[in-house]
């Protein structure tokens, strides 16, 4: 940290890599994009569940998956379709 204080602004900017960071979910991007294209109503939480089912060794939080899914939707212009659920009452079992 202190080494940056001795540098000029231009030197510090050149020292720090400000390129696109790799994301932990990038290796799974194709899966996520295909799921969203096939099922545009999927939520980030559902994608999280599917990733855990298909890749049980993945260590990632649900919030990270939701953010990544939102980025993928924006990047690939996959609009989330809202599907309304129909509910009806059922007789109680005795």
Assess whether pLDDT exceeds 80 at residue 3.
no
pLDDT band at 88 (very low <50, low <70, confident <90, very high): confident
Cα 44 from Cα 21, distance rounded (Å): 21
Report CA 35 to chain centroid distance, whole Å.
12
φ, ψ of residue 24 in degrees (nearest 5): -65, -25
pLDDT one-digit tens code per residue, 15-64: 776 666 789 999 999 999 999 999 999 999 999 999 999 999 999 999 99
Q: Is residue 50 part of a domain?
A: yes
Q: Is residue 73 part of a domain?
A: yes
Q: What are the counts of helices (DSSP H) followed by strands (DSSP E) for the chain?
A: 5, 0
pTM above 0.75, yes or no: no
Contact 51, 58 (CB under 8 A): yes
Supply the range of the domain harboring residue 41. Answer: 23-80
Element (H, E) at 8: none
Q: Is residue 44 part of a domain?
A: yes
Q: Is residue 6 part of a domain?
A: no
Question: What is the domain count for the chain?
Answer: 1
Highest mean pLDDT pick, 15-19, 78-82, 84-88:
78-82
Element (H, E) at 53: helix 44-54
Q: Is residue 62 part of a domain?
A: yes
């Amino acid at each position: 940290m202190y080494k940056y204080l001795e540098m000029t602004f231009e030197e510090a900017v050149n020292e720090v890599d400000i390129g696109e960071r790799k994301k932990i979910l990038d290796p799974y991007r194709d899966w996520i994009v295909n799921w969203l294209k096939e099922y545009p109503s999927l939520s980030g939480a559902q994608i999280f569940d599917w990733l855990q089912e298909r890749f049980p060794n993945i260590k990632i939080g649900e919030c990270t998956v939701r953010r990544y899914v939102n980025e993928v939707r924006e990047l690939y212009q996959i609009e989330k379709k809202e599907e309304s659920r129909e509910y009806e009452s059922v007789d109680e079992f005795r």
